[in-house]
Amino acid sequence: MIQEDVELRGLNGKMNRRDFLATATGAALVGYSRRGAGAVAKSNQLKFRRSVSIKDFGAVGNGIADDTAAIQAAINAANGGGTVYFPAGTYLVGNVLTLPRGGAYLDQYMIDLSSVSNVMLRGAGDDSVIKIKDHFLDGLVDLRSNAHIFYGENSKGISLDKLRFDLNGKSNLTPVGKIRNAFAIKLKNGDGFSASDCSFYNSGGRNVIVLGGAGFNASVERCRFYNGGRGIAGNVNNTDFSFIYSEWTDSKFIDNYIVQKNGPGGWSGGIELHGSRSSAIGNTIINCEPAIYIASAPNAIEDIAIENNAMLDCNRGVVFWRSGILKNVSVVKNRISIRRWWDHGAFGICNSAPSRAWNEKTAHAGIVEGLIIKDNVIEDNQSALDVDDCYGIYLGSLVNSEISGNTISNMNSFGIYLFGSPFGMSSVRVVNNTIYNCGRNTTGKGRGAIYLNFNGTSVAPFATNFFAKNIEILNNKIMQDSAIDGSSAIKLSWPTGSVSNLEIKGNFIKNYARSLGGDRGYEYRIEK
């Protein structure tokens, strides 16, 4: 035990213990140990540095003063293992701008998390606000006019908890001829990111949370996202948007609430998954286009789970973009209600046919393997009947896939539409689905429940006809309240000889003008 009369030698000569403890390093002399077996003793200095308040570093939090430098200093102090606490207040960011490394506009930012590890940024809920200054982004001189609040390369163990982000898009609109990428946070090539119980408002840029590069182990849970992209009033120059964008593997997005209050206004996604072994579970996504986007770009991806989500009034629910290998995706027990927000049609689950030559790099070309679409409820209660471009499930290029146990209702066009491609379709089962009141449009086209359309040719790769094999349409319930002229419960269309091993069996059909219809040659085996 150190006695008060023991002399300790500092930089300026001798001082007693009491005087030494009053210095900045004095807390290093006071021991700390938790009660209980196995507790490790440490100094008070080390203990206190594991939890710091940004107000300890000069942050004001009055919504007027710029607190960017204080936030950066607090994070630097906690680096290596600590919590940075944001007491209730509004912390403006905007005057300190770190220019991008190598001039990459996507990496321009205000607060640097690069090489930071094991730091949690924690607030007091919606009372702790990090806000971009009014018109701060307007004056940036870079070609794209961007600045993320947080940016990190090779960061590890970064956590956000109980914070509110106001990206202030109404006062930082996208300029004419520029792309704005003012994210709340962008991490590149990291490990272990989490955000929990946070809220994110009013992004005038292209995304809110971005996890890019070769990162892994991310989670976003119980967070709330409100309005972004063209969902911001007056943000007419925005060209693309999604709330969450992730290329990281082994990532999960659970129980989040995502809404465009005034509708999507354009391309306006909820969650984008570009990394393998990722899942979106229990989220509520409203008024987005699309709700969930699954893309094998820039890398091949597999093992994706989309389960128990509510996708409400979205122009499209689940969308596949196939650029590289895309396989083993399950879309299970979701509720999807579509709303036709614009003139491109509305879809529950789709990979739309390309409008140009097919090739492996075309957005919707190439095989999707091992797709399971099961026990979903897909409905359209809003689209007008004077158009015929709203579908429950609209898919092509499937291999070893199953569409089963789904309930699809009130589409103005087909409930299930499977289309051809030069990559073919094989080993696909459509079984035990209930398709109710689909194909009820007044245009005279698309009046049906299930359509197998394998017509087509392509230039790249060259194909004079498309093909399909081993297709089963079994034990589905296909019903209308009343028959509509020209309607077909199951419509079949392809050139003779391009389809083999098609089985149609055990389907219950009610109130369709025809059980089977088609306008080309086809072969099939059918049993009632």
Q: What is the pLDDT of residues 144-172, one digit of tens each?
A: 678 899 999 999 999 999 999 999 999 99
Q: Which two tokens stand for residue 7?
A: 């002399």
Q: Rounded mean pLDDT of the chain? A: 87
3-state secondary structure of 26: helix
In the predicted model, what is the mean pLDDT of residues 271-275? 97
255: left (phi over 0), alpha (psi -120 to 50) or beta: left
User: 376 near 403, Cβ under 8 Å?
Assistant: no
Residue 143 has a pLDDT of: 64
- What local confidence, expressed as pLDDT, does residue 180 receive? 86
Instruction: Please tell me the predicted confidence (pLDDT) of residue 1.
Output: 38
Dihedral through CA 222, CA 224, CA 230, CA 235, nearest 10? -140
The neighbour count for residue 33, using CB atoms within 10 Å, is 10
Nearest to 156 by CA among 81, 208, 220: 81
Q: Please say if the pLDDT value at position 29 is more than 80.
A: no
Q: What is the pLDDT of residue 25?
A: 57
Q: How far is CA 332 from each of CA 35, 287, 320, 351, 407, rounded to the nearest angstrom? A: 48, 21, 15, 17, 12
Other beta carbons within 10 Å of 126: 15
Q: Please give the pLDDT value at position 453.
A: 93
Interval 460-515: pLDDT, tens:
778 888 999 999 999 999 999 998 888 999 999 998 889 999 999 999 999 998 88
pLDDT at residue 102, rounded to an integer: 61
Pairing of strands 434-436, 407-409: parallel
Mean pLDDT of 314-339: 94
Mean pLDDT of 99-121: 85
Amino acid at 277: R
Residue-wise DSSP of 111-156:
EE-TT-EEEEEEESGGGEEEEEPTTTGGG--SSS---EEEEEES-E
Read off the pLDDT of each residue in 200-225 and give the average, rounded to a whole number: 96
Alpha-carbon separation of residue 313 from 241, 245, 260, 327, 346 (angstroms) = 17, 21, 10, 27, 10
pLDDT computed for residue 261 by the predictor = 92
Region of poorest pLDDT, from 19-28, 258-267, 343-352: 19-28
Structure confidence at residue 193 as a pLDDT band (50, 70, 90): very high
pTM: 0.89
Q: Inform me whether the pLDDT recorded for 13 exceeds 80.
A: no
Is residue 269 very low, low, confident or very high in pLDDT (cuts 50, 70, 90)? very high
Instruction: Name which residue leads in pLDDT, 518 or 90.
Output: 90
What is the pLDDT at residue 16?
57
Mean pLDDT within 368-373: 97
**Exposure on the CB side of residue 472, measured as CA atoms within 13 A:** 15
Band (45; pLDDT cuts 50, 70, 90): very low
Please report the pLDDT score of residue 4 as a whole number. Answer: 39
pLDDT tens, position by position, 52-69: 999 999 999 999 999 999
Cα distance between residue 66 and residue 47, in whole Å:
29
Show the 3-state SS of 169-227: HHHCCCCCCCCCCCCCEEEECCEEEEEECCEEEEECCCCCEEEECCCEEEEEECCEEEE
- The residue with greater pLDDT, 461 or 425, is 425
Q: What is the pLDDT of residue 33?
A: 47
Tell me: pLDDT of 446 over 90: no
- Give residue 288's pLDDT: 97
Q: Most distant CA pair in the chain: distance in Å? A: 104
Q: What is the mean pLDDT of residues 303-323?
A: 95
Cβ-contact 67, 54 below 8 angstroms = yes
- Find out whether the peptide bond into 290 is cis, omega within 30 degrees of 0: yes
